[in-house]
Amino acid sequence: MILPIYLYGNPVLRKKSVDIDKDYPNLDELIDNMFETMYKADGIGLAAPQIGKNINLITIDANVLAKDEPELEGFKRVFINPKITFNTEETIAIEEGCLSVPGINESVNRINNLTIEYLDSDFNKVTENLKGYPAIIIQHEYDHLNGIMFVDKISPIKKRFIKTKLNNITKGKVATSYKVKN
């Protein structure tokens, strides 16, 4: 089932999410719906707050970018209750976008080496070391779980340029090819 994606300005995107356990109702269906919603919107990552649920759950499938970025080959994951530890202060930046902030793309500094501990969709404990693109993508999604949006991290000057666009998104005055909720 395709779910509406909550837009910038909705308070659900600003709340801190909570951990879940195996008993969370209809979790497998929710995960399936998140992948379906993400694919329909041509996204590569989706965090649960973006579909209106403040729980620590992220879906990622970046295989579509693997042609240009080989390190993303096979980067399809479900992250439940993730915890990130940064292994360096070195940063990298690429232009990011977000299904909750349609029509805006800006570069954001991200840490280039991290360790993430999480539960997969079978609640197996996994520890992964990520660098480069996978590290950038997971940081963007992980921020959503803490109520942080990528546009919070751009320079004040750039932010001034997109202020009108952000106000319009908040009011729902934005065209998207996917179902949204403001």
Candidate list 69, 90, 128, 141, residue with the active-site label: 141
Q: Please provide residue 31's backbone torsions phi and psi, each rounded to the nearest 5 degrees.
A: -65, -45
Q: Nearest to Ni ion by Cβ — which residue?
A: 98
**Residue 98, interface with Ni ion (CB under 5 A)?**
yes
Whether the Cβ atoms of residue 165 and residue 103 lie closer than 8 Å to each other: yes
- Residues 182 and 172: their CA atoms lie apart, in Å, by 5
What does the per-residue mask of binding to Ni ion show for 18-47, with x meaning CB under 5 A?
A: ------------------------------
Whether the Cβ atoms of residue 115 and residue 84 lie closer than 8 Å to each other: yes
162: which strand partners?
none
CB of 55 to Ni ion, least distance (A): 16
CB of 182 to Ni ion, least distance (A): 15
For the question of residue 95 being annotated catalytic, the response is no
Other Cβ atoms within 10 Å of 136 Cβ, number: 22
# residues contacting Ni ion (CB under 5 A): 1
Q: Which residues bind Ni ion (CB under 5 A)?
A: 98
Instruction: Write out the catalytic residue numbers.
Output: 141
